[in-house]
A = this chain, B = another copy of it.
Amino acid sequence: MAIGDTPTVTPGRRIEHDVRAQIENGNLHIGERLPSEAELSAQYGVGRNTVREALRALAGQGLLEIKVGKRGGTFVTRPSAEKISGSLRLALSLMAGTEVSVANLVQIREILEIPAAEIAALQRTEEELAALRATLFDPYHVDPDRVFGCTGGFHLAILRATHNPLLPIVASPVFQVLEERFLRDRAPQRVWLDVDRDHREIVDCLERHDQAGAREAMRAHLRAARQQYYQDMAES
């Protein structure tokens, strides 16, 4: 242990930080099992409650998985994509309106999703194209809940079709926060006509592997969405 460590850190915090550091520097690798609570409490010279709380905090971050039973125990794991994405979505949702403006969110969305469309036009498989078509909807018979799910599914399908797992992880929370805060079901039908037209145009571009077309179609689509967000803000 390094000298001059923070003097007044509670044992619980210290254990949490210590285990986290061991995961980070590879001392503990994925799938490895930690000593039992009793062993840890003996090693650190603290009670089992203290150990348990430290392990809980790390489990909340998705770094540990706790299983019961004789062959159970606490195991090192990596946060799932869903866990990361969910944490990011909640964090962005809580930041939106104070530290982070709608313009910030829109800008990130355009930075990520416009290249994503271009990459997807190159990488998409037939299966992904079919999944994308399944998200198209009939703008003349709008069930608000269904349309909301379709638009989310459309953009997620594009991100997935890039074959880069990081793009859905970082881009979908941004998209979800924007869609949650706006036009959940407040948008007039005219908007859905435009959205549907844009979606179909993008799908057409992906079908013929038209990278430049997909990029520009997505750019136009997101520009329209941006205008809708701003109009929605002005009204409320």
Please tell me which one of the listed residues B30, B49, B104 contacts residue A94 in the complex, with CB atoms under 8 A apart: B30
Q: A78-B94, A84-B91 are in contact. Are A165 and B104 (CB under 8 A)?
A: yes
Please tell me which one of the listed residues B57, B115, B116 contacts residue A59 in the complex, with CB atoms under 8 A apart: B57
A166 CB within 8 Å of chain B: yes
Interface string of A114-133 (1 = CB under 8 A from B): 01100100000000000000
CB distance from A220 to the nearest CB of B (A): 17
In the complex formed, the residue of B with least CB distance to A58 is B60
Distance, CA A12 to CA B170, complexed state (A): 29
Cβ of A60 and Cβ of B49 under 8 Å apart? no
Please tell me which one of the listed residues B60, B104, B111 contacts residue A56 in the complex, with CB atoms under 8 A apart: B60
| Chain A 97-121 interface residues, beta-carbon cutoff 8 Å to B | 99-100, 104-105, 107-108, 111-112, 115-116, 119
Cβ of B108 and Cβ of A170 under 8 Å apart? yes
A143 CB within 8 Å of chain B: no
In the complex formed, the residue of B with least CB distance to A77 is B94
Contacts of A94 in B (CB 8 A): 23, 30, 78-79
Cβ of B57 and Cβ of A107 under 8 Å apart? no
CB distance from A1 to the nearest CB of B (A): 16
Cβ of B107 and Cβ of A164 under 8 Å apart? yes
Contacts of A179 in B (CB 8 A): none
Contacts of A84 in B (CB 8 A): 87-88, 91
Please tell me which one of the listed residues B52, B54, B108 contacts residue A167 in the complex, with CB atoms under 8 A apart: B108
A61 CB within 8 Å of chain B: yes
What would be 29 A-B contacts, judged by CB atoms less than 8 Å apart? A20-B90, A30-B94, A52-B53, A54-B56, A56-B56, A56-B57, A57-B59, A58-B60, A60-B60, A60-B61, A62-B91, A63-B90, A78-B91, A79-B87, A79-B91, A79-B94, A81-B99, A84-B87, A84-B88, A84-B91, A104-B164, A104-B166, A105-B166, A107-B164, A107-B166, A108-B170, A111-B111, A111-B112, A112-B112
